[in-house]
A and B are shown apart, each in its own frame.
Chain A
Amino acid sequence: MEIFLIDKIVLIVAVFGITLLFALYSTYAERKVAAFIQDRLGPNRAGIFGLLQPLADGVKFFLKEEFIPKHADKALFILGPSISMTTALMTSAVIPWGNSLELFDRVISLQITDLNIGVLYVFAVVSIGVYGIMIGGWASNNKFSLLGALRASSQMISYEIAMGLSIIALIMTTGTLSLGEIVQQQGTPIFGISGASWNIIYQPLGFLIFLICAFAECNRTPFDLPESENELVGGYHTEYSSMKLGFFLFAEYTNMFISAAIMSSLYFGGYNFPFMDQLGLPHNLVTILGTIFLFAKIILFIFLFMWVRWTLPRFRYDQLMRMGWKMLIPLALINIIITGLLIIVLK
């Protein structure tokens, strides 16, 4: 029991650290990608290639004045960013970061906990994340913040429906809600290639809907209405300064990392990679390679998030709502029907 606890604690700390590291360096990557796309060089003064830039930014955030507006509700004002950050970090518990390692005569699973309702858990935690933004915007006692918070909550609720519906089609094909099992199933061979039966092959439309909704859930362009700076000053975080602002921004990057991880696990095979069982390598090495592949997929998705952000302009608010309710939800429903029909026909 104690050994089990120690394993889990080590894993939790490692996942926590890696998530924070990714969020930290996402800010750097974002600036670099933005610069490269705009024919600039980006930050390159702090350290080699500007690699120490996130640390400099972090130090700057801590040294900024901590300001709480006079008419703001102090308790809720502090609670807002804390909820955002906590919920952003909580989802990582159910993601399988790798298969299992055989160390010291025992098998260590590289998933913190394999909940049998893992997918539901992710959705539950993500929906609580809205409260962080809403409470923060409300407690600021500022009309711009309130409008930003309103937009964020209505947008997230609208897109969560389509996201949930696209997941239902996926669950119909996998037959399980546990993320660990969903990833394991994708390791079965297809056309004689092991570890390549990724769900994207069975659910291309579902993935597209999920991807669009993930952009909306993370408040990324073209859906970054909640913080549209030219209409709402800064949206829900207008009144925030110092590390509380840092938490909000950091939560956004953490969310991006987590949704990239979830998309890779649900649709792109997680830690599975083609020919994984045919290489004849020892189990531990395959597991480590799998984890590397998972992170490669995650990095590609994060790059996609950034690439889209620096390509597209923002939707107008009515366009955003029309797309969510009139295009994505019907499309997701059609996807469910097609999936159901195919399951019946193929059986």
Chain B
Amino acid sequence: MHSLSNRSKVVVNKEMTLKERMYLPAIFGGMMITIKHFFKRKPTIQYPEQKKRVQ
């Protein structure tokens, strides 16, 4: 069937592979992403003390 918006995605219900079913590789990958964010510089501007210059 033709979709109206042309943005529809076909969902693939394929069986998970053994690697996916073990969860652990994916969990490890996720944890690597979060640890990267852990050490990132934070973009927070702490308002009353720090002020951003308005152009």
Residues of chain A in range 273-319 having any CB-CB distance to chain B below 8 Å: 307-308, 310-312
- B6 interfacial contact with A, CB 8 Å: no
Tell me if A39 and B30 are in contact (CB < 8 A): no
- The answer for the CA separation of A37 and B34 in the assembled complex, in Å, is 6
- Is the Cβ of A307 less than 8 Å from the Cβ of B31? yes
Size of interface on A: residues with Cβ below 8 Å to B: 13
Interface check B42, CB cutoff 8 A: yes
Confirm or deny: A33 has a beta carbon within 8 angstroms of a beta carbon on chain B: yes
B interface secondary structure, majority: helix
- Partner pick for B40 among A39, A307, A310, CB 8 A cutoff: A39
Quick one: which of B1-55 are within 8 Å of A by CB? 27, 30-31, 33-35, 37-40, 42-44, 46
CA distance A41 to B50 in the complex (A): 14
Q: Which of A38, A310, A311 has the largest number of chain B CB atoms within 10 A?
A: A311
Determine which residue in A36, A44, A307, A308 has the highest number of CB atoms from chain B within 10 A of its CB, and name it: A36
A37 to B39: give the CA distance in the assembly, Å: 8
Query: Which B residues fall within an 8 A CB radius of A?
Result: 27, 30-31, 33-35, 37-40, 42-44, 46
B33 CB, nearest partner CB in chain A, Å: 8
Pick the most buried of B35, B38, B39: most chain A CB atoms within 10 A of its CB. Answer: B38
Question: Considering the chains assembled together, what is the distance between the CA atoms of A40 and B37 in angstroms?
Answer: 10
Q: Other CB < 8 Å A-B pairs besides A36-B42, A39-B37, 7 of them?
A: A37-B38, A39-B43, A41-B44, A307-B38, A311-B30, A311-B31, A312-B27
User: Interface on A for B, CB 8 Å cutoff?
Assistant: 33, 36-41, 44, 307-308, 310-312
Main secondary structure of the interface of A (DSSP, over half): loop
Per CB-CB distance, the 9 closest pairs between chain A and chain B, nearest first, are A311-B34, A37-B34, A36-B38, A311-B30, A41-B44, A311-B31, A37-B38, A41-B42, A37-B37
User: Which of A33, A41, A44, A308 contacts B38 (CB under 8 A)?
Assistant: A33
Which residues on the A side are within 8 Å of B27 (C-beta)?
308, 311-312
For the complex, what is the distance from the CA of A312 to the CA of B31, rounded to whole Å?
8
Structural contact, A310 and B34, CB atoms closer than 8 A: yes
A-B contact pairs, 6 of them (CB 8 A): A37-B34, A38-B37, A40-B44, A310-B34, A311-B27, A312-B27
With A41-B42, A41-B44 as given contacts, are A307 and B37 in contact (CB-CB < 8 Å)? no
User: Across the interface, which residues of B come within 8 angstroms of A41, CB to CB?
Assistant: 42, 44, 46
Q: Are A36 and B37 in contact (CB under 8 A)?
A: yes
Chain B hits for A37, CB < 8 A? 34-35, 37-38
| Assembled-state Cα–Cα distance A307/B43 (Å) | 21
Most interface-central of A37, A307, A308, A310 (chain B CB within 10 A): A37
CB-CB < 8 A to B35: which residues of A? 37, 307
| Residues of B contacting A307 in the complex (Cβ-Cβ under 8 angstroms) | 31, 34-35, 38
Q: How far is the CB of B2 from chain A (nearest CB, A)?
A: 34
CB-CB < 8 A to B33: which residues of A?
A: 311
Pair B42/A40 contact, Cβ less than 8 Å: yes
Residues of chain A within 8 A of B34, CB atoms compared: 37, 307, 310-311
CB distance from B30 to the nearest CB of A (A): 5
